[in-house]
Structure 1
Amino acid sequence: MSSPKPFAQLNPDVASNIQLIFFDVDGTLLDSSGHYSAELQQSLAMLRARGFKLAIASGRPPFACQFLIDELGLIDTGLFYTGGLLYRAANKQSITQHSLALNDARALFAAAQELGLYFELYDDQQFIVDPKHITVPEILAEHSKQLRVQPRQMDIQEVLDLSAEKDVYPSPWLKVLLGEDARQSSLLADLERRFPHLHFAYAKLPAYSNWRFASVIPKAADKHLAFDALLKHYGLTAQNVMAFGDAGSDKVFLRRAGLGVAMGNAAADVQACADVVCPSSDENGVALALGHFFGKPC
């Protein structure tokens, strides 16, 4: 397919080879208020019963996707932390994990303090905020609501110093989340240039669309390599994969999947990477597309 088309214009047979379906979470499975529809839940249950593999590919950590894994049956091996973690949800097993170097985590925290950026620190079990460094409480409240997980409030400098004293190898820190009000500054782009060996994956928070966020992970957490690892894990080819997404970090999967589906709420450059465009997450786009290609639940 040379350009993305509305899904309704395509013959459902284009999905005849699909065996594995990956879903981004925010702005894809979840609408702008952080919810999914009963129709989506029924569609996924039908596909699961028919033997399709269903998994998550998201910048979120597994612990912030557990409710979706449990409620929607997305139990197959997926990708978390924007490529930093290959994770088998059925038994909570990490398959491949890329950690931030401790020195990078410390330098990013120092930079966030210097520049007044929003900051969250993640390992595989929790995310941490510093009560002395909660620059925008309403952003933290909204993000915690969207993740459905409350942060631990700790002195991050002490946490990082303690990790250094223990000489932890590899580092337990998988991601740093940075944020800024894009109406007032463009510091994240400058910071990205200061850390060329790290990957900055950008995203937005629906309730605060003027804010810009960057998930910072190691460059080794390359999505092309992660996609190849997933294909090898499942014993499939790219033509057997269908991927849904709405953000810049979803572009690799949208391009490489046999059938890439961009959400109607995705930016034009993201939609251009896909084969198909479906309605927005607020319009139940994923469920509508699944119904078109695979039939509706009885």
Structure 2
Amino acid sequence: MIKAIFFDIDGTLVSFQTHKIPENTFDTLKQLQKKGIKLFIATGRGKDGLDVLKDFPFDGYITLNGQYCYTKEKIIYENTIQSQDLKALLDYLEQKPFPCGFTEEHTKYFNLRDERVDEIHRITHNDDHPAGDCSQVVHQKIYQCMCFVNENEEKEILKVMPHCISARWHPLFCDISPLGGTKQHGIDEFLKYYHINLEETMAFGDGGNDIPMLKHVAISIAMGNANDEVKTVADYVTDDVEHDGITKALKHFQLL
């Protein structure tokens, strides 16, 4: 019996076409809660990017790919990048500049912006943050860095940030996060908090950063718009959110 379901946001709950959660998806979420199933967000977005949820009362939020997990009442888990890794990244940016977003608890800011940042904002409607001097980040609680680099550059950055890992759902950028925090770890924190077994879990996702989560839960669903790698690890592939993919999957597994 499924007691907890974890949802990615972009490309899963939120349509890349309308940048909204369809009303019928909200109706489906309400039906699940009436059945007593706990619902969780598991996203790369930070707290400042959750307006798209329209204040729907989820039972918990795994944000920043697992670095900041909380309920409406309390923080369940948080994990920040070590200052020495942030200093190394700043030094790297001086030698090889590229757009980089630094995420704090309630906001994000960039060292610089270019067409790559604007392109991602057109997709997410969540990356219109300002650019400027970021030297102060070594003294701040930074949960995640959004680095607009290709995969080869990503590997070079990780060499100078040895206490970090990366995740990518778009070819234009990767998220650099501290070791220890992942969507998978966030799931475990909430299962412990709510006394739910891993065998009672389900998750929906579409991006590369969802793969550890999809491999971890009991039942994993890839959205129809997911890439082949995500679809391969999932137990079931549904339609995209514009075509009621979440509801169709839940009916397939007889949860509705």
| TM-score, normalized by the shorter chain, greater than 0.5 | yes
Q: Counterpart amino acid of 2:101?
A: E
The equivalent of 1:64 in structure 2 is: 49
Q: Which runs of 5+ in 1 are unaligned?
A: 1-16, 164-170, 205-210
Q: Give the conservation status (yes or no) of the 8 Å contact 2:20–2:52.
A: no
Q: Distance in 2 between matches of 1:291 and 1:62?
A: 31
Once the two structures are superposed, residues 231-273 of structure 1 have per-residue CA deviations (whole angstroms, 9 ceiling, x without a partner) of 1111011121110011222122212212111112222222222
The equivalent of 1:212 in structure 2 is: 172
Q: Please report how far the alpha carbon of residue 202 of structure 1 lies from its aligned counterpart in structure 2 after TM superposition.
A: 1.0
The equivalent of 1:106 in structure 2 is: 87
> Which residue, out of 151, 160, 174, partners 2:137?
160
The equivalent of 1:4 in structure 2 is: none
Once the two structures are superposed, residues 57-83 of structure 1 have per-residue CA deviations (whole angstroms, 9 ceiling, x without a partner) of 11111221143161xx24212311111
Q: Distance in 1 between matches of 2:85 and 2:33?
A: 41
Once the two structures are superposed, residues 42-69 of structure 1 have per-residue CA deviations (whole angstroms, 9 ceiling, x without a partner) of 1112222222211101111122114316
RMSD: 2.3
Alignment of 1:1-298 (within 5 A): 17-33=1-17, 34-68=19-53, 70=55, 73-88=56-71, 90-91=72-73, 93-130=74-111, 133-134=112-113, 136-137=114-115, 139-140=117-118, 142-143=120-121, 146-148=124-126, 150-157=128-135, 159-160=136-137, 163=139, 171-180=140-149, 182=150, 186-204=152-170, 211-292=171-252, 293-295=254-256
Greater RCO (CA < 8 Å, at least 6 residues apart): 1
Please give the secondary structure, in 2, of the residue aligned with 1:28.
coil
Does 188-197 or 226-235 show the bigger shift? 188-197
Please give the secondary structure, in 2, of the residue aligned with 1:294.
coil
Q: 1:69 to 1:112 in 2, by over 3 A?
A: farther
Q: Distance in 2 between matches of 1:255 and 1:69?
A: 29
Q: Give the conservation status (yes or no) of the 8 Å contact 2:102–2:146.
A: yes
Q: Give the conservation status (yes or no) of the 8 Å contact 2:117–2:127.
A: no
Q: 1:242 to 1:69 in 2, by over 3 A?
A: farther
Q: Percent identity?
A: 24
Q: How many residues align?
A: 254
Q: Distance in 1 between matches of 2:156 and 2:224?
A: 30
Q: TM-score, normalising length from structure 2? A: 0.88
Q: Distance in 2 between matches of 1:74 and 1:22?
A: 14
Q: Distance in 2 between matches of 1:138 and 1:186?
A: 17
Higher gyration radius (CA): 1
Q: Distance in 2 between matches of 1:262 and 1:41?
A: 19
